[in-house]
Copies of this chain bind each other. A is one copy, B any other.
């Protein structure tokens, strides 16, 4: 299992007239969280794309427990709890400044070859980096 924590601040643009973060914007928060989790391991999306590997999202789920508000400094705990094969699976827990859990999310992404537009296995270099976190499971 690999876990990482990311902080981000709610932008005015992300609120809606209810005074809360618009529900669709959590998808972007999840993106930031998983990108930074991978970066913490020395892996960037950008370098994956440069190798001709795309990572579109196959599935997304969100539970909205408490609202996030403008200027809140949110903490997103992102969990990678299994080694990727053709798919890469992330879970997210979003906490507000009072450390209350406000949102739960899950995304499934799939490794795609840009050339063939077909699913492919996770690249070896990525498995090599992730392996140590999953050895004793």
Contacts and interface: CB of A to CB of B under 8 A. Distances in A.
Contacts of A22: 12-13, 27
Interface stretch (A51-59, A74-82, A85-93, A122-130): A51-59
Contact of A62 (B19, B20, B59, B71): B59
Q: Of A15, A45, A60, which is in contact with the most chain B CB atoms at under 10 Å from its CB?
A: A60
Contact of A46 (B16, B26, B31, B71): B71
A63 interface: yes
Contacts of A12: 16-17, 22, 31, 35, 45
- How many chain copies? 4
B16 A24 contact: no
Interface residues of A, number: 37
Interface of A: 11-13, 15-20, 22-28, 31-32, 35, 44-46, 49, 54, 56-64, 67, 69-71
25 contacts: A11-B31, A11-B32, A12-B16, A12-B22, A12-B35, A12-B45, A13-B28, A13-B31, A15-B16, A15-B17, A17-B17, A17-B49, A17-B69, A18-B56, A23-B56, A23-B57, A24-B27, A24-B31, A45-B71, A46-B71, A57-B64, A58-B64, A59-B61, A60-B60, A60-B61
